Amino acid sequence: MATANHNLSNYDKSTIPNAKDFRFGIVVSEWNSEITEGLYNGAIDALVDCGALKENIERVDVPGSFELIYGAKHLVSKSFDAVIAIGCVIQGETKHFDFVCEGVTQGIKDLNILYDTPVIFCVLTDNTKQQSIDRSGGKHGNKGMEAAIAAIKMAELRTN
C-alpha cells in the first residue's frame, strides 16, 4: 500500500510558498461526508498554516464524487489560483465504483488540460471505509493536507 509507511500530513513548511496572496476554491462531495469533512478540515488547516486567508477560500458542496467535476469547473470560472476537489468512493459489490472513479479521474484531468487553473485531485478511492478513515485524519494522516500543499505549489507555478 502506497501510504503504509507515509504520513500524508507531514510537510516541510519551509519548502512551501506563502499562500497569503492566493485564492482557493474547494469543492466537497456530500457522499461519505464523515470522510470528506475530515479531508476538508485537513485542507483548510494546511492552507491557513501556510498563510492563506480564510476569506480567500470558497467552499462549494456537491451531492457526490461524480459531481465534483462540475463543481470544480464552476469554481475554475471564478478566477481562483487553484481548486481542490474532495471526494471519497469506497469499493462496493458492483462495478459502480470503477465507473465513478474512472469518470472523476478523467474529468479532473480534462479540467487541468482545458483551463489555466490547476484542479487538485483529492478523491479517496479505497477498498474499505477504514482505509478512508486512515487517510482522512487517521493513522496515515490526512490526504486533504497533502492536496492543499499541492494546491499552493501549483498556484505558485501558475503565477510564474
Kindly list the catalytic residues. Answer: 96
Asked if residues 159 and 81 have their Cβ atoms less than 8 Å apart, the reply is yes
Number of neighbouring beta carbons within 10 Å of residue 104: 24
Would you report the helix, strand and coil content of the chain in percent, each value rounded to 5? 45, 20, 30
Q: Are 143 and 36 in contact (CB under 8 A)?
A: no
Pick from 29, 22, 27, 61: which is nearest to 157 by CA?
22
End-to-end C-alpha distance for the chain, whole angstroms: 35
